[in-house]
A and B are shown apart, each in its own frame.
Chain A
Amino acid sequence: MITDIKNMNDLLKENKTLIHEKEVLAAKLQEALGIIEAIRKGKIDEVLDANKTNNSLISKTADETYRRFIENMSEGVITLHTDGMIVYSNSSFAKMVKTPLKKVIGTNVRHFIPIESIKYFELIFNEHPENNAPIELSIVNSKGTRSHFMVSPSWLQLQDFLALNLVWTDVTVQKESEEKLITVNQSLNRAIEELVFSENKVVILNNKLKENIKILEDANIELATFAHIASHDLQEPLRKIITFSSLLKAHYNHIIDEKGKKYINNMQRASERMRDLINDILEYSQLSQKEFLYTPTSLHKIVNEIISNLEIVIKETNAKIIIEKELPVIEANASQMRQLFQNLLSNSLKFIKADTIPEIHITYEIVKGNEIEKIDESLWDEEFYLFYIRDNGIGFNQEYIDKIFTIFQRLHNNTVYIGTGIGLAICKKIAEKHNGFITAEGILNEGSLFTVTLPVKQSTIGKHKQKEKALFEQIAGEDYTY
């Protein structure tokens, strides 16, 4: 019984298997019939030799050579159906659109063409089949990256439809370098434009500078001439005032009362001051105009002469003038050096403290240009004299430093300290005329220190200046027109 049941089960199983096998066979038969029907109806393109030992699956047909050739091309090749569907694509094209080959075939080519290129693509489609002119098209791959291609179309009449073959040549690199070139060109053009613009600006500024220099020169000459003429012309009436006030005093002394005499004295003092002023202005204006030669000048001799000239004042004030070491012989204009040191010494003798014996120290040293503040780098290797005139007078507040060398600037009124206010301005001018400069340091109620900086060799400094001038003229004279 048990074996019967077992046999039954086996039989049932066997039956199932048989039914399944029958179904499979039926399906295979169906498939085989389908194949036969398809072949009969001509719906088969190829029958394959499924011999796996033979690596080439496909029967060697005539067009295999061309297929391999196309497949190995680095250009992308696709065949489009009339509506734009890709019915064939080689591997290169699939790589270009970064899409698996099996997903490329059956897809409409328009899906790979960005919106802005679509209208050019449609042009190919609407073109007359004879027109095979290549056009430029872009492709967007599955990653969204754009590439540029030269696309050569060719039409081919197949059994069912008119096929369009497209060969895609990647011109991205050329296109990019072309675009880069355009960008570079544009920025170059911009740079040139800017250059031209700024050069035009330079020309305009230069012309303005030239104009200004001319105006300045004219004004300087005019001013100097004016000062010269004015002082000359002023001297004459002034002389008359002095002469007539002296005559007044000499001849009418007995009939003028004390008040009148005081008025005359005031008048004479004012006139003398006027005369001093005129003389100083005259000197100052002449300094501006004069060109002169530098000759070896013994400063030691000059300063000693000045000291003996100032003997009366020195005695009156009990002042001590100490020349700490023998002053050098320098390349300079002797009379201007005399004026410079005379003014500085007079200045120190003038602004003395009432309760202190005045002491004036004069000394000098030689230093290189690079040790001096505010000197141009081109002169760093040159040697310079630094002359120091130090006193223990009333000094001055350092905040007035700009004023003391300016013409007619006075820190003190005329009742305590007499003077014209031109002396130090003359000193400054002389130092500048000698390619140098003058500086001052002061401590109120302690004293002042004047430093005169002059080049050791005027000739080399002169050369520097000439070079500078020549350079300037060259720049100013250049023609900037394009």
Chain B
Amino acid sequence: MLEIIKKTRNQNTSEPRRPGGKRYILKLFVSGILQNSVRAIKNINQICEEHLKGNYDLEIIDIYQQPELAIREQIIVIPVMIIKYPLPERRLIGDLSEVEKVLEILNSK
């Protein structure tokens, strides 16, 4: 049973935090299963698992389901990923397919 619970742990919170690593808090705003939204979901998951494993907290928000979150963040276009942490806050627009660029922004101070 324990094994199952462990296995069903949400992938977004990933594994136990790696000590010493940079911490990332990411929010991705999508719109249903529109092409770029789905791509963004796929891409950010892949990037996180490959490069930030154990050091990120990812939330994916469908603006149709939680529009209040989108209003609070003054979202203009979809999909958009907000890097909440580390500061300063930055936004990445599009399907996040340019992995190098995404990583560069994630790693810049």
Residues of A within 8 A of B (CB): 27, 31, 34-35, 38-39, 41-48, 50, 52, 56-58, 63-64, 67, 71, 79, 81, 85, 87-88, 90-91, 99, 101-108, 111-115, 140-142, 144, 158-161, 163
8 pairs of A and B residues whose beta carbons are closest in the complex: A43-B94, A45-B34, A105-B60, A102-B59, A38-B94, A46-B78, A106-B60, A107-B11
Specify which chain B residues have a CB less than 8 angstroms from the CB of A35 in the assembled complex. 76-77, 93
Chain B interfacial residues counted at CB < 8 A: 53
Q: How far is the CA of A105 from the CA of B8 in the complex (A)?
A: 14
Q: How far is the CB of A213 from chain B (nearest CB, A)?
A: 61
**A110 to B, closest residue via Cβ:** B7
Asked whether B94 lies within 8 Å of A41 as measured between CB atoms, the reply is: yes
Q: How far is the CA of A29 from the CA of B36 in the complex (A)?
A: 22
Q: How far is the CB of A346 from chain B (nearest CB, A)?
A: 87
Neighbour of A44 across the interface among B3, B41, B78, CB < 8 A: B78
Q: How far is the CB of A295 from chain B (nearest CB, A)?
A: 85
Neighbour of A103 across the interface among B12, B30, B38, B70, CB < 8 A: B12
Residues of B within 8 A of A (CB): 1, 3-5, 7-13, 27-28, 30-39, 41-42, 44-45, 58-67, 70-71, 74-79, 88, 90-95, 97
Q: How far is the CA of A150 from the CA of B55 in the complex (A)?
A: 36
Asked whether A58 lies within 8 Å of B94 as measured between CB atoms, the reply is: no
Asked whether B67 lies within 8 Å of A101 as measured between CB atoms, the reply is: no
Asked whether B35 lies within 8 Å of A111 as measured between CB atoms, the reply is: no
Asked whether A103 lies within 8 Å of B13 as measured between CB atoms, the reply is: yes
Q: How far is the CA of A85 from the CA of B43 in the complex (A)?
A: 12
**A56 to B, closest residue via Cβ:** B67
Q: How far is the CA of A163 from the CA of B36 in the complex (A)?
A: 14
Q: How far is the CA of A57 from the CA of B70 in the complex (A)?
A: 8
**B64 to A, closest residue via Cβ:** A67
Q: How far is the CB of B1 from chain A (nearest CB, A)?
A: 7
**A116 to B, closest residue via Cβ:** B4
Given known pairs A106-B58, A160-B39, the reply for A88 and B32 (CB within 8 Å) is yes
Asked whether B45 lies within 8 Å of A85 as measured between CB atoms, the reply is: yes
**B11 to A, closest residue via Cβ:** A107
**With A106-B44, A115-B7 already in contact, 4 other A-B pairs whose C-beta atoms are closer than 8 Å:** A35-B93, A43-B94, A46-B78, A87-B41
Q: How far is the CB of A208 from chain B (nearest CB, A)?
A: 53
Q: How far is the CB of B93 from chain A (nearest CB, A)?
A: 4
Q: How far is the CB of A95 from chain B (nearest CB, A)?
A: 12
Specify which chain A residues have a CB less than 8 angstroms from the CB of B41 in the assembled complex. 81, 85, 87, 105-106
**B38 to A, closest residue via Cβ:** A87
Specify which chain A residues have a CB less than 8 angstroms from the CB of B71 in the assembled complex. 50, 52, 57
Asked whether B8 lies within 8 Å of A140 as measured between CB atoms, the reply is: yes
Specify which chain B residues have a CB less than 8 angstroms from the CB of A48 in the assembled complex. 63, 70, 75-78
Specify which chain A residues have a CB less than 8 angstroms from the CB of B60 in the assembled complex. 102-103, 105-106
**A64 to B, closest residue via Cβ:** B64
Asked whether B77 lies within 8 Å of A39 as measured between CB atoms, the reply is: yes
Q: How far is the CA of A31 from the CA of B88 in the complex (A)?
A: 14
Which of B3, B4, B27 has the most C-beta atoms of chain A within 10 angstroms of its own C-beta?
B4
**B79 to A, closest residue via Cβ:** A45
Asked whether A114 lies within 8 Å of B35 as measured between CB atoms, the reply is: no
Neighbour of A31 across the interface among B32, B45, B64, B93, CB < 8 A: B93
Given known pairs A44-B78, A57-B63, the reply for A115 and B95 (CB within 8 Å) is no
Neighbour of B76 across the interface among A43, A47, A71, A90, CB < 8 A: A47
